[in-house]
Chains A and B, each alone.
Chain A
Amino acid sequence: MGSGKVRFNDPQIEMAHGAGGKASRRLIEGLLVPILFDGCSEPLGDAAHLQLDGIQLAITTDSFVVKPLSFPGGSIGELAVNGTVNDLAVSGARAEALAVTYVLEAGLPTAVLEAEAQAMARAAKRAGVGIVAGDTKVVEHGKADQMYVTTCGIGRLIAGVAVAPRSVRPGDKIILSGPIGEHGITILLARGELDLEAELWSDTRSVLPLVEALAQAAGPGIRWMRDPTRGGVATSLNELARDCGLGVHLDEESIPVRDTVRGACELLGLDPLHIANEGQFLAVVAPEFAEAGLEALRRTPGGHEARTLGEMREQPAATVIVNTRYGGSRVVDMLVGDPLPRIC
């Protein structure tokens, strides 16, 4: 179980270290965690849970670096709010308050900043969370891609939910809230380099209502949750597999993917499992609670496309496998860096 001793030997930081895949994990677990997280031996979750004077709190932080700033379905502001609310939600907590930092590039049009601030205010209201503190810095032109946004959120634990990879058992079901790949492909297309057009938009939203619905119907059975952002479902499930040492088995036909996302992925040689999502979450639920949990999600607004993807098994250990209906299978690994279009 667990990953064993991870070492970070790279002489300098490369782009791959920020992509959420293998290189990122090496940086975080090999360099930063040992230094910063004193005596930490737990697998890393989406948020940290603390006890302060008997009150259980969750705290998390995330930074948002996206190009273009604005895209179909949202902008960096919404990502910043929803992203942190979602990290808290999948750790089993309800976001109560956010603090925001802006690092702004000199030369950024005020209208752009204003639009992002408005977007954040709207997203916070929709998510039922208050923005209570903030900071702003301005750096020279060229030192920040227009703007970087960081949010830090605190929240209260949702009663009856305790997620931990070590509680996952063979036979547990894997549930996904909705179709994958919409955010990552939207961003890829919005960059304009590939000259592709499609009716597609980011799925950015707060998943808290869905998590709460799942908690109500299946609380005691929820073993693990994660929001599959950068690196996609493949990365999140590989992290799970590695943290609990079991095999993750997915049925290829159960994986929900919109036609346009599928078309773009086929065209560019990408796997939807590796593409970022900003409005979905994965849950591993004990089999006796899984059906009720799935039903509850489907009845909740925004959850009608929730599916059971598969289940946990003993073998192969620490590995994610996709099984086809005709008896074929393939291992799905974490990528090293961001998925790149290919022509070969």
Chain B
Amino acid sequence: MCLAIPGKIIELFPESHRTALVDVSGVRRRVDLGLLEEDKPVAGDWVLIHVGFALSKISEEDALDQMRILRLLGEDKAAMEEVKGYGLGEEPEGGKQKSETGRKRTT
């Protein structure tokens, strides 16, 4: 289940505070932001789109983090220890993890 694709918010529609124009690689569609009431995105934010609704904001920081960790794989043992130190997937404690309310930072 669950085909969901990252898209960039191009424009918010003031008359309908719950929709935005989202761009996926040059393809554009109106997307309903009603599921992101607690963390309203702004133009320039990236969101995950499923059936015309935004399910979540995409954290660029977490994405970069993940790529950084992946690129370190297969390197020497010292690097592996560093990887373990990032605390992959441990419960939220602050720092790079999500806050309790699920707030994400995006650029």
Answer yes or no: A and B touching, Cβ < 8 Å. yes
Q: Which residues does A use to contact B, with CB under 8 Å? A: 194-200, 259-260, 262-264, 266-267, 269, 342-344
Contact pick for A196, options B1, B29, B51, CB 8 Å: B29
Q: Which residues does B use to contact A, with CB under 8 Å? A: 1-3, 5, 24-30, 49-52
Contact pick for B3, options A198, A262, A269, CB 8 Å: A269
A266 with B25, Cβ < 8 A, contacts A195-B30, A344-B2 known: yes
The answer to whether A266 touches B26 (Cβ under 8 A) is no
Quote the shortest CB–CB distance from A341 to chain B (angstroms).
9
Residue in B closest to A258 when the chains form the complex, CB atoms: B26
In whole angstroms, how far apart are the Cα atoms of A263 and B3 in the complex? Answer: 13
The answer to whether B50 touches A264 (Cβ under 8 A) is no
The answer to whether B26 touches A260 (Cβ under 8 A) is yes
Quote the shortest CB–CB distance from A186 to chain B (angstroms).
12
12 residue pairs from A and B, CB less than 8 Å apart: A198-B27, A199-B26, A200-B26, A260-B25, A260-B27, A262-B25, A263-B27, A266-B25, A267-B29, A269-B3, A343-B3, A344-B3
Quote the shortest CB–CB distance from A343 to chain B (angstroms).
5
Quote the shortest CB–CB distance from A303 to chain B (angstroms).
24
Chain B residues lying within 8 Å of A266, measured Cβ to Cβ, are: 5, 24-25
In whole angstroms, how far apart are the Cα atoms of A195 and B50 in the complex? Answer: 14
A196 with B28, Cβ < 8 A, contacts A343-B50, A343-B51 known: yes
The answer to whether A198 touches B50 (Cβ under 8 A) is no
Chain B residues lying within 8 Å of A263, measured Cβ to Cβ, are: 24-27
Quote the shortest CB–CB distance from A39 to chain B (angstroms).
48
In whole angstroms, how far apart are the Cα atoms of A308 and B1 in the complex? Answer: 35
Residue in B closest to A199 when the chains form the complex, CB atoms: B26
The answer to whether B28 touches A198 (Cβ under 8 A) is yes
Given contacts A194-B29, A199-B26, A266-B25, 4 further A-B contacts (CB under 8 A): A198-B27, A260-B25, A260-B26, A343-B2
The answer to whether B5 touches A267 (Cβ under 8 A) is yes
Quote the shortest CB–CB distance from A267 to chain B (angstroms).
5
In whole angstroms, how far apart are the Cα atoms of A34 and B71 in the complex? Answer: 59
The answer to whether A342 touches B27 (Cβ under 8 A) is no
Residue in A closest to B29 when the chains form the complex, CB atoms: A196
The answer to whether A195 touches B29 (Cβ under 8 A) is yes
Chain B residues lying within 8 Å of A260, measured Cβ to Cβ, are: 25-27
Chain A residues lying within 8 Å of B26, measured Cβ to Cβ, are: 198-200, 259-260, 263
The answer to whether A196 touches B27 (Cβ under 8 A) is yes
Residue in B closest to A263 when the chains form the complex, CB atoms: B25
In whole angstroms, how far apart are the Cα atoms of A269 and B2 in the complex? Answer: 10
The answer to whether A267 touches B49 (Cβ under 8 A) is yes
In whole angstroms, how far apart are the Cα atoms of A61 and B92 in the complex? Answer: 66
In whole angstroms, how far apart are the Cα atoms of A200 and B26 in the complex? Answer: 9
Chain A residues lying within 8 Å of B5, measured Cβ to Cβ, are: 266-267
The answer to whether B27 touches A344 (Cβ under 8 A) is no
Chain B residues lying within 8 Å of A262, measured Cβ to Cβ, are: 25
In the complex, the 8 A-B pairs of residues with the closest C-beta atoms, listed nearest first: A263-B25, A260-B26, A263-B27, A198-B27, A263-B24, A344-B1, A197-B28, A269-B3
Of B5, B25, B29, B49, most buried by chain A (CB within 10 Å of CB) is: B25
Quote the shortest CB–CB distance from B71 to chain A (angstroms).
15
In whole angstroms, how far apart are the Cα atoms of A240 and B5 in the complex? Answer: 34
Residue in A closest to B25 when the chains form the complex, CB atoms: A263
Chain A residues lying within 8 Å of B29, measured Cβ to Cβ, are: 194-197, 267
The answer to whether A342 touches B3 (Cβ under 8 A) is yes
Chain B residues lying within 8 Å of A259, measured Cβ to Cβ, are: 25-26
